[in-house]
Chain A
């Protein structure tokens, strides 16, 4: 990787991954000036930008793994107490790579999907907002400054609200879903802002590492004993973050937003937005409060919510009549797995969380792409549209089925690897009940996936004369890359497991 990128650029990688989509998004607006084919130019531009981000992200993670140290970038060369610092370590290098991969592939995928679903005169706007969303998501992950997290969080959220609302051209419910998402998302963000405020008051700094050091100093001098400020800040942050990552029962915005958003948006958002929320939670719980604040009671509560989420949202998924909604509820359940993992606060549990961020992004991204392809070719995502579609779109539906096996946790798919670590983590703590809930979730996933599989492969179409073609290559290729990767990382999880393990060790070194 170092051969590809000159040394001068190399040092600036942490900030480049944010600046590229940020300015790329602004420049994308100008493609609106092109009379004919502006939409295509906007798409091409976005694909180039996201491709570059992917290269940057991959080389950053490569460097972090080879040197074993974090890459630190200080904006304006200010010392980290005063200025904004960006830093990339084993954990967020990994998450950035996830976002970059999904960002690139879903941009490729978006070409035909956006052509069909978004009005022609808005394509330049769509891609502009699209790139800004990616900038926000990557920014949250790369920054080490808590207030910067808030700002970038809002950049990503505002753009995602807009993207979801663009689905309103086809189905007006997208607008309501988007507004609901906006209101709940803003409440979450405001809670986070308030929590950061309490932390600022306590430590006088905004930099995460500095905050942690201050807290450790106060902890050692006994100032933190029975300190309600630290308690309140933790509680506020947890509420806000739970809203952002759609932890049951604060997930209400998610199903409709995913269902009515344009297909490409769903693929991007489902695979990345909540994952970034989980990443923030890692940072707050472990990097800032780790070893300072006894969060075991809070984590226990989060774990309970997650257990309930696994079971209840999977049961809700069984009843849905819209395939996108089935997957959306399934996402709520899968997020609950991730939360469950780190709430165990042991090595296997956190490893399970980190690895599932990656695995679930691959699986769900691929599956939503498959559903989007059906929306394009068959005109809808209701259960009826899927009847017997396996014979007409075999490649797409094969991807969907393989992805579904991943959700169930069939061995040799990525989903199994996550589940394995999660159950090992639970059993390490002696929580057999949690182990059973995790596995029960797998059985429920079997029910809601198999219901779809039966309809797809054995159903009889309502209108046999309807012509449905296989999805275009621009959709099939990214879809199969994701699904193929989910199987490849299920067969040989060496790389993902090692990376996730390194990240887990990093998080836990301060103690839970």
Chain B
């Protein structure tokens, strides 16, 4: 059994000599940032440029893995970088939830970079330097979000991520890409500026702080009666819908729109980094700003359960009818993200733990699926589900990995998806929420209904007869995609399976998080 990349890293990290001086989370942001400059400088020499990307990704993973050694259950002392507004620094700390997110993003970045090289060269994309630079900038923003020590820092990097990914979404420069870019930026910026920002400022006005604090910051003003429970609930709602990246319906439309981007972008950013930034923010705000026990105490936020549940079911239904493979995956992502929101919305430490685990489980599964979709596009130039008849015989590795990803999405063993669903069910039982259990069952069936036919088509249907009239059947004579692509997707598929057998790393983080929370 192949070790998962993160496990591998953890093992390597344990063997490394102890870092002599305190390794700062700021370094995790600085590394991809410096990498972005170097990539831009090396723009003229493609081999060097891609080399720089890979080295940067490896360096980042090493930094994050080392930070792992300093992790404790409660947030570490915040390190301020610069004080933006008096009393409002850009500050960073270490805590389990951020660690999960940073681990996933940094380990998958390496695989994704390998994949990107195959994909971008295979499809002869233009502006490749801009692509790699923006990618590195996005990862830097992701690290900023993961290690942010206060809401303000999170907001800053959240917006930075929106802006850094915009050129990636509009990469093709076609009118359609620009239109999608407009939807993308409009929804993400609009929700964050109109809802998250006022919620944040209201938090500041009522509590005088934006620091991420164990148990939330609202206990005092609520107890003093300065803040009414209804207003508290409103602030919570503004936070949840303000985090547009979590793609909770109806703020989900940017995600299908973003599928116009090159597949590596969809794979790492719009299945992992960006959307996980959303659900990560939801979890982090619920745990460290709002305080789930406060929500329970004042009986607020129950609606979120239903909003998330509906989002899961509706998105799954829409996915059933999508013929474009990437769009189907996008709607699946929307539904899977709401699992995580659902976990947070159950308002119990055990369910928050499930949400944290699902962040990891979904990441590995979904990136595999996207890698496979990109592989099909590169090798066969096919984007529609209906065109995939018999493709599994020509591209066994790709479709094999796809099948593994599918199992993880449905939540079947032996994949990581099963583990997280298990914990989610456990959370639902603890919270005694029949609704949640019903939603989980329904969505499992729906997931199977829209994913399994693809696998069936690929392996068990006959490929269509070559269209002799048009003469150019070169696309039918394809084999596997270029080797970097196959390598990358095999690794992620293996990781998805490994997550089932060795779930300790992420479950460990999640448990640390849950145990530190007020019960």
Interface residues of A (CB under 8 A from B): 405, 408-412, 417, 420-421, 423-424, 427-428, 432, 435-436, 439-440, 442-443, 446-447, 450, 454, 458, 490-494, 497-498, 501
Please measure, in the bound complex, the distance between the C-alpha atom of A51 and the C-alpha atom of B159, giving whole angstroms.
38
Please measure, in the bound complex, the distance between the C-alpha atom of A458 and the C-alpha atom of B205, giving whole angstroms.
41
The residue of chain A having its C-beta at the shortest distance from the C-beta of B170 within the complex is A458
Q: Is the CB of B198 within 8 A of A435?
A: yes
Interface of B is mostly: helix
Q: Is the CB of B194 within 8 A of A424?
A: no
Q: Is the CB of A427 within 8 A of B201?
A: yes
How far in angstroms is the closest Cβ of chain A from B359? Answer: 24
Q: A410-B163, A439-B194 are in contact. Are A420 and B201 (CB under 8 A)?
A: yes
Q: Is the CB of A412 within 8 A of B84?
A: yes
18 contacts between A and B (CB under 8 A): A411-B156, A411-B159, A412-B156, A412-B160, A417-B84, A420-B85, A421-B85, A440-B194, A443-B190, A446-B185, A454-B182, A490-B84, A491-B84, A492-B82, A492-B84, A493-B86, A497-B86, A498-B86
Q: Is the CB of A409 within 8 A of B193?
A: yes
Q: Is the CB of A427 within 8 A of B202?
A: yes
How far in angstroms is the closest Cβ of chain B from A495? Answer: 10
Instruction: Specify which chain B residues have a CB less than 8 angstroms from the CB of A420 in the assembled complex.
Output: 85, 201
How far in angstroms is the closest Cβ of chain A from B131? Answer: 15
Flag whether B268 is at the interface (Cβ < 8 A).
Answer: no
Q: Is the CB of A436 within 8 A of B156?
A: no
Instruction: Specify which chain A residues have a CB less than 8 angstroms from the CB of B189 in the assembled complex.
Output: 408, 443, 446
Q: A411-B159, A420-B201, A427-B202 are in contact. Are A494 and B194 (CB under 8 A)?
A: no
Instruction: Specify which chain B residues have a CB less than 8 angstroms from the CB of A446 in the assembled complex.
Output: 185-186, 189-190, 193
Most buried by A among B82, B163, B182, B193: B193
Which residue from B83, B85, B193 sits with its C-beta under 8 Å from A439? B193
Please measure, in the bound complex, the distance between the C-alpha atom of A204 and the C-alpha atom of B159, giving whole angstroms.
56
Which residue from A405, A409, A447, A494 sits with its C-beta under 8 Å from B83? A494
The residue of chain A having its C-beta at the shortest distance from the C-beta of B173 within the complex is A458
How far in angstroms is the closest Cβ of chain B from A443? Answer: 5
The 10 closest A-B pairs by CB, nearest first: A411-B156, A427-B205, A423-B201, A439-B194, A442-B193, A492-B82, A435-B198, A493-B85, A411-B159, A443-B190
Please measure, in the bound complex, the distance between the C-alpha atom of A395 and the C-alpha atom of B86, giving whole angstroms.
32
How far in angstroms is the closest Cβ of chain A from B34? Answer: 18
Q: Is the CB of B205 within 8 A of A494?
A: no
Interface of A is mostly: helix
Write the B480-510 contact mask toward A (1 if CB under 8 angstroms, else 0). 0000000000000000000000000000000
Q: A409-B193, A424-B204 are in contact. Are A493 and B198 (CB under 8 A)?
A: no
The residue of chain A having its C-beta at the shortest distance from the C-beta of B206 within the complex is A427
Q: Is the CB of A423 within 8 A of B86?
A: no
Flag whether B38 is at the interface (Cβ < 8 A).
Answer: no
Q: A412-B156, A450-B185 are in contact. List 12 more A-B contacts (CB 8 A).
A: A412-B160, A427-B205, A435-B198, A435-B201, A439-B198, A446-B193, A454-B178, A454-B181, A491-B82, A492-B84, A493-B86, A498-B86
Write the B262-274 contact mask toward A (1 if CB under 8 angstroms, else 0). 0000000000000
How far in angstroms is the closest Cβ of chain B from A129? Answer: 40
Please measure, in the bound complex, the distance between the C-alpha atom of A447 and the C-alpha atom of B201, giving whole angstroms.
23
Please measure, in the bound complex, the distance between the C-alpha atom of A497 and the C-alpha atom of B87, giving whole angstroms.
11
Chain B residues numbered 327-385 whose CB sits less than 8 Å from any CB in chain A: none
Instruction: Specify which chain A residues have a CB less than 8 angstroms from the CB of B40 in the assembled complex.
Output: none
Instruction: Specify which chain B residues have a CB less than 8 angstroms from the CB of A498 in the assembled complex.
Output: 86
Instruction: Specify which chain B residues have a CB less than 8 angstroms from the CB of A494 in the assembled complex.
Output: 83, 86
Flag whether B132 is at the interface (Cβ < 8 A).
Answer: no
The residue of chain B having its C-beta at the shortest distance from the C-beta of A422 within the complex is B201
Chain B residues numbered 153-190 whose CB sits less than 8 Å from any CB in chain A: 155-156, 159-160, 163, 170, 173, 178, 181-182, 185-186, 189-190
Instruction: Specify which chain A residues have a CB less than 8 angstroms from the CB of B163 in the assembled complex.
Output: 405, 410
Contact count A vs B, C-beta below 8 Å: 73
Instruction: Specify which chain B residues have a CB less than 8 angstroms from the CB of A493 in the assembled complex.
Output: 84-86
Instruction: Specify which chain A residues have a CB less than 8 angstroms from the CB of B84 in the assembled complex.
Output: 412, 417, 490-493
Flag whether B412 is at the interface (Cβ < 8 A).
Answer: no
How far in angstroms is the closest Cβ of chain B from A209? Answer: 30
Interface residues of B (CB under 8 A from A): 82-86, 152, 155-156, 159-160, 163, 170, 173, 178, 181-182, 185-186, 189-190, 193-194, 197-198, 201-202, 204-205
Please measure, in the bound complex, the distance between the C-alpha atom of A454 and the C-alpha atom of B202, giving whole angstroms.
33
How far in angstroms is the closest Cβ of chain A from B189? Answer: 6
How far in angstroms is the closest Cβ of chain B from A433? Answer: 11
Instruction: Specify which chain A residues have a CB less than 8 angstroms from the CB of B159 in the assembled complex.
Output: 410-411
Q: Is the CB of B197 within 8 A of A423?
A: yes
Q: Is the CB of A436 within 8 A of B198?
A: yes
Q: A411-B155, A411-B159, A446-B186 are in contact. Are A436 and B194 (CB under 8 A)?
A: yes
Instruction: Specify which chain B residues have a CB less than 8 angstroms from the CB of A423 in the assembled complex.
Output: 197-198, 201
How far in angstroms is the closest Cβ of chain B from A54? Answer: 26
How far in angstroms is the closest Cβ of chain B from A409? Answer: 7
How far in angstroms is the closest Cβ of chain B from A379? Answer: 26
The residue of chain B having its C-beta at the shortest distance from the C-beta of A419 within the complex is B197
How far in angstroms is the closest Cβ of chain A from B29? Answer: 13
Instruction: Specify which chain A residues have a CB less than 8 angstroms from the CB of B156 in the assembled complex.
Output: 411-412
Instruction: Specify which chain A residues have a CB less than 8 angstroms from the CB of B155 in the assembled complex.
Output: 411
How far in angstroms is the closest Cβ of chain B from A90? Answer: 16
The residue of chain A having its C-beta at the shortest distance from the C-beta of B175 within the complex is A458
Instruction: Specify which chain B residues have a CB less than 8 angstroms from the CB of A417 in the assembled complex.
Output: 84-85
Which residue from A405, A424, A490, A501 sits with its C-beta under 8 Å from B201? A424
Please measure, in the bound complex, the distance between the C-alpha atom of A443 and the C-alpha atom of B190, giving whole angstroms.
6
Instruction: Specify which chain A residues have a CB less than 8 angstroms from the CB of B190 in the assembled complex.
Output: 443, 446
The residue of chain B having its C-beta at the shortest distance from the C-beta of A454 within the complex is B178
How far in angstroms is the closest Cβ of chain A from B240? Answer: 17
Q: Is the CB of B182 within 8 A of A450?
A: yes
Most buried by A among B156, B194, B197: B197
How far in angstroms is the closest Cβ of chain B from A272? Answer: 25
Please measure, in the bound complex, the distance between the C-alpha atom of A493 and the C-alpha atom of B202, giving whole angstroms.
21
Which residue from B160, B182, B186, B205 sits with its C-beta under 8 Å from A424? B205
Please measure, in the bound complex, the distance between the C-alpha atom of A485 and the C-alpha atom of B240, giving whole angstroms.
34
Instruction: Specify which chain A residues have a CB less than 8 angstroms from the CB of B204 in the assembled complex.
Output: 424
Please measure, in the bound complex, the distance between the C-alpha atom of A411 and the C-alpha atom of B144, giving whole angstroms.
13
Q: Is the CB of A497 within 8 A of B85?
A: yes
Instruction: Specify which chain B residues have a CB less than 8 angstroms from the CB of A501 in the assembled complex.
Output: 86
Instruction: Specify which chain A residues have a CB less than 8 angstroms from the CB of B181 in the assembled complex.
Output: 454
How far in angstroms is the closest Cβ of chain A from B245? Answer: 15
Please measure, in the bound complex, the distance between the C-alpha atom of A148 and the C-alpha atom of B458, giving whole angstroms.
85
Please measure, in the bound complex, the distance between the C-alpha atom of A167 and the C-alpha atom of B152, giving whole angstroms.
45
The residue of chain A having its C-beta at the shortest distance from the C-beta of B179 within the complex is A454
Instruction: Specify which chain B residues have a CB less than 8 angstroms from the CB of A412 in the assembled complex.
Output: 84, 156, 160
Instruction: Specify which chain A residues have a CB less than 8 angstroms from the CB of B82 in the assembled complex.
Output: 491-492
Q: A411-B155, A493-B85 are in contact. Are A443 and B193 (CB under 8 A)?
A: yes
Instruction: Specify which chain B residues have a CB less than 8 angstroms from the CB of A435 in the assembled complex.
Output: 198, 201
Please measure, in the bound complex, the distance between the C-alpha atom of A432 and the C-alpha atom of B230, giving whole angstroms.
15
Please measure, in the bound complex, the distance between the C-alpha atom of A493 and the C-alpha atom of B173, giving whole angstroms.
36
Instruction: Specify which chain A residues have a CB less than 8 angstroms from the CB of B197 in the assembled complex.
Output: 423, 439
Please measure, in the bound complex, the distance between the C-alpha atom of A334 and the C-alpha atom of B400, giving whole angstroms.
57
How far in angstroms is the closest Cβ of chain B from A500? Answer: 11
Q: A424-B205, A427-B205, A458-B170 are in contact. Are A443 and B83 (CB under 8 A)?
A: no
Please measure, in the bound complex, the distance between the C-alpha atom of A501 and the C-alpha atom of B173, giving whole angstroms.
45
Instruction: Specify which chain A residues have a CB less than 8 angstroms from the CB of B182 in the assembled complex.
Output: 450, 454
